[in-house]
Structures are given as C-alpha cells and as structure tokens.
C-alpha cells in the first residue's frame, strides 16, 4: 500500500529539488543515489560538462538500461510461453 503524498527535498548533483511523492524514503534515497552515482561518473571525465549536459547523458544511460531490461523481460515472457506450449 502506498504512503501518503508528501513534500520531500532531495539533492541531485549540486541542486536541491522539492518533490511531491508517496515513495518511501528508502526507495527515494536509492533512486537519488543511483542518479548521483551516474552524474559523478559522467562528470569525472577530463572534459568538464555543464550540469544540464551531464543530466541528459545520465537520462540517456538510464533510458538505455530500462530499454534493455524491457527487452529482456519480453524475451523471458516469450520463453515462458514457449515452455508452457511445449509442456502441454
């Protein structure tokens, strides 16, 4: 069951954001931690990127990860369906 919607301040990169969310503190901390780790990796390069460009690169990386997981999920669903068909 979801929690009540509340305002929470999170830090992403060097910025603070006030969010309205029903997400648990633990989940929100994990998400912001993931984004901050990616930002640190992207920003650790030799070329100093503006924050907006670093954020776009992180968004693209996360979207790519999501797309790969979505493709893997579809493949697993297909394998399960084939296994069921063969078992019948």
Question: How far is it, in rounded angstroms, from Cα 85 to Cα 88?
Answer: 5
Does residue 21 surpass a pLDDT of 80?
yes
**Helices 51-87, 25-43: inter-axial angle, 10-degree rounding:** 120
Does residue 85 surpass a pLDDT of 90?
no
Instruction: Compute the average pLDDT of residues 61-69.
Output: 97
Prediction pTM value = 0.80
| Interior angle at CA 78, CA 76 and CA 81, nearest 5 | 110
Burial of 9 (0-12, 13-18, 19+ CB in 10 A): exposed
The pLDDT value given to residue 2:
57
Instruction: Compute the average pLDDT of residues 31-48.
Output: 91
Instruction: Compute the average pLDDT of residues 28-40.
Output: 96
Two tokens, residue 40: 């640190």
Does residue 20 surpass a pLDDT of 70?
yes
Mean pLDDT for the chain overall:
93
């Amino acid at each position: 069951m979801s929690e009540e919607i509340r305002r929470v301040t999170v830090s992403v990169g060097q910025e603070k954001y006030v969010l309205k969310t029903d997400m648990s503190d633990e989940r929100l901390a994990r998400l912001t931690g993931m984004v901050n780790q990616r930002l640190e990796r992207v920003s650790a390069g030799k070329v100093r990127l503006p924050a907006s460009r670093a954020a776009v690169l992180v968004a693209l990386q996360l979207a790519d990860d999501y797309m790969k997981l979505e493709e893997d999920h579809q493949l697993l669903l297909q394998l399960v369906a084939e296994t069921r068909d063969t078992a019948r």
